[in-house]
Amino acid sequence: STQEWQQLDAAHHLHPFSDMGSLNKVGSRVITRAEGVYLWDSDGNKIIDGMAGLWCVNVGYGRKELAEVAYKQMLELPYYNTFFKTTHPPVIELSKLLSEVTPGGFEHFFYCNSGSEGNDTVLRIVHQYWAAVGQPKKRYIISRKNGYHGSTIAGASLGGMDYMHEQMPSQVSNIVHISQPYWFGDGGDLSPAEFGLKCARELEAKILELGAENVGAFIGEPFQGAGGVIFPPESYWPEIQRICRQYDVLLCADEVIGGFGRTGEWFAHQHFGFEPDTMTLAKGLTSGYIPMGAVAIRKKVADALIAGGDFNHGLTYSGHPVAAAVAVANIKILREGGVIERVKNETGPYFQKALREALAASPLVGEIAGAGLVAGMQLTEDKASRKRFANGGEIGLKCRDYCFKNNLIMRATGDRMLLSPPLVINKHEIDEVVEKAAHCIGLTARDLGM
Ligand code: PLP
């Protein structure tokens, strides 16, 4: 029974990113199956998944072809490593396919099991690259406050989440953070364009402070996902790219959320108009059916690594054949099924418009940011002055709990409500997500007397 599951779960399972004390009082919801954009819990409730799991189930649940590919591959070659001059067909096929779907200039791919490991790998690549080209002093990495780059020690050091740093005295050194480009919250009287330039120029100031000869890379999510779906002003990324090029600093895009179609482009940096030197990939790479991460490496960086001798980095499961086979099948669904074009031309614009129309009159929603099938909605005390609530996070959690009760998965980051449904969601299902989200935001506003 649900109660037995919950008791066993509370007795033996330490959940990630959860306050176990309060979780155990209410009991975790037990998710037992899924199909398309829907989940079912152990009490038989049907829940619409507005978050694609954790921003990852891009092709939706219940794809038999992915299960079949995994089954076949397990029978044929369940495992072999790619260390020491061995390889296998699935990883070869995946690398070729990735070189086709990534924008020009990416020909080499390194594999791991997660986004966090991907960003650890980026650090290794950056250091090895600068050593290979004779500039080993370029050790500083610049990242951003409120960015999220994973939960390994390096991932969390790169990330700009204070609460994670506080629990982790042993951070990776030589990582420094600059401001996030969050106009609605921090832009004051500046226009979005002015604020975007101001934030980008913080990078330039930091490079000059540290000395360009000491700075190896800047890393950022094209839009900050876990930080609240923060979409930077249009002026931001082109200026960041100019600065990176001017001071010979590698530009590393963390595409773990944005990659594989989320904004309606294959990769989110294409939406924002810049060209990174590395791309961290995970989540949508396999649509979450099996763990896999990767780093796409621009040719000039890969060439230097290859010329530089041994790349002393690798994981037992780098390029795991079953994960690679699933990734190939998943990318083929995205490509041959026209999934990403549909997000760009149909479902993405429909979702963005429907959300804005449904929430235009809400006194609680101050900003809606997003493109394609991702959105962040800022709950505010006063829309006109962009004033946020003093007790940041409480209102968001209240709204999230209403959604949970109403069988919609919508995430809260502080007082920002986040949506990122599977990319195969249809218009009828989008209507359901939007209606439920608006209803729950309405209930939250009512509780606040708005
Ligand atoms: N980078 C970004 C932008 C992410 O959103 C995440 C996870 O949400 C990660 C890295 C870490 O990925 P993983 O949880 O697979 O380690």
Give me the pLDDT at residue 139, please.
97
Give me the pLDDT at residue 25, please.
78
C-alpha to C-alpha distances, 90 to 108, 291, 448, nearest whole angstrom: 15, 15, 54
For range 190-208, the mean pLDDT: 98
Instruction: Evaluate: CB of 115 within 6 angstroms of ligand 1.
Output: yes
Q: What is the position in ligand 1's atom list of the atom closest to the CA of 254?
A: 3
Q: What is the position in ligand 1's atom list of the atom closest to the CA of 150?
A: 11
Give me the pLDDT at residue 163, please.
87
**Chain segment 145-192, per-residue pLDDT in tens:** 999 999 999 999 999 998 899 888 889 999 999 999 999 999 999 999
State the DSSP string of 124-182. HHHHHHHHHTT-TT--EEEEETT----SSHHHHHHS--HHHHHT-SSPPSSEEEE----
Q: What is the position in ligand 1's atom list of the atom closest to the CA of 226?
A: 5
d(Cα 285, Cα 121) in Å, to the nearest integer? Answer: 17
For range 91-116, the mean pLDDT: 97
Instruction: Evaluate: CB of 114 within 6 angstroms of ligand 1.
Output: yes
Residue given tokens 């083929």 in the structure block: 332
Provide the 10 A C-beta neighbour count for residue 300: 13
Instruction: Evaluate: CB of 255 within 6 angstroms of ligand 1.
Output: no
Pick from 12-26, 74-88, 247-261, 410-424: least confident = 12-26
Provide the 10 A C-beta neighbour count for residue 193: 13
Whether the CB-CB separation of 422 and 58 falls below 8 Å is answered with yes
**Chain segment 43-89, per-residue pLDDT in tens:** 999 999 999 999 999 999 999 999 999 999 999 999 999 998 899 99
Pick from 31, 45, 49: nearest CA to 433: 49
Domains of the chain, first to last: 2-62+338-447 (3.90.1150.10), 77-336 (3.40.640.10)
How many whole angstroms from 385 Cα to the centroid of ligand 1?
A: 33
d(Cα 159, Cα 144) in Å, to the nearest integer? Answer: 7
How many whole angstroms from 262 Cα to the centroid of ligand 1?
A: 14
Q: Residue 22 above 90 pLDDT?
A: no
- For the question of whether the overall pTM of this predicted structure is more than 0.95, the answer is yes
How many whole angstroms from 150 Cα to the centroid of ligand 1?
A: 5
User: Coil, strand or helix: which one is 251?
Assistant: strand
Q: Residue 250 above 90 pLDDT?
A: yes
pLDDT classification of 19: cutoffs 50, 70, 90: confident
Instruction: Evaluate: CB of 56 within 6 angstroms of ligand 1.
Output: no
For range 340-348, the mean pLDDT: 98
Instruction: Please name the residue whose Cα sits nearest to atom 13 of ligand 1.
Output: 115
H helix runs in 182-320, sequence order:
183-186, 192-210, 236-246, 268-272, 299-307
Give me the pLDDT at residue 26, please.
80
pLDDT classification of 417: cutoffs 50, 70, 90: very high
% of the chain at pLDDT higher than 70: 100
Whether the CB-CB separation of 290 and 282 falls below 8 Å is answered with no
**Chain segment 290-309, per-residue pLDDT in tens:** 999 999 999 999 999 999 88
d(Cα 68, Cα 54) in Å, to the nearest integer? Answer: 23
How many whole angstroms from 259 Cα to the centroid of ligand 1?
A: 11
Whether the CB-CB separation of 108 and 302 falls below 8 Å is answered with yes
Instruction: Evaluate: CB of 225 within 6 angstroms of ligand 1.
Output: yes
How many whole angstroms from 405 Cα to the centroid of ligand 1?
A: 27
Q: What is the position in ligand 1's atom list of the atom closest to the CA of 147?
A: 3
Query: Which pairs with CB-CB distance under 8 Å and at least 24 residues apart come from 61-65?
Result: 61/34, 61/35, 61/36, 61/37, 61/422, 62/34, 62/35, 62/36, 63/287, 63/289, 63/330, 63/333, 65/329, 65/333
Q: Is the ipTM of this complex over 0.95?
A: yes
Instruction: Evaluate: CB of 268 within 6 angstroms of ligand 1.
Output: no
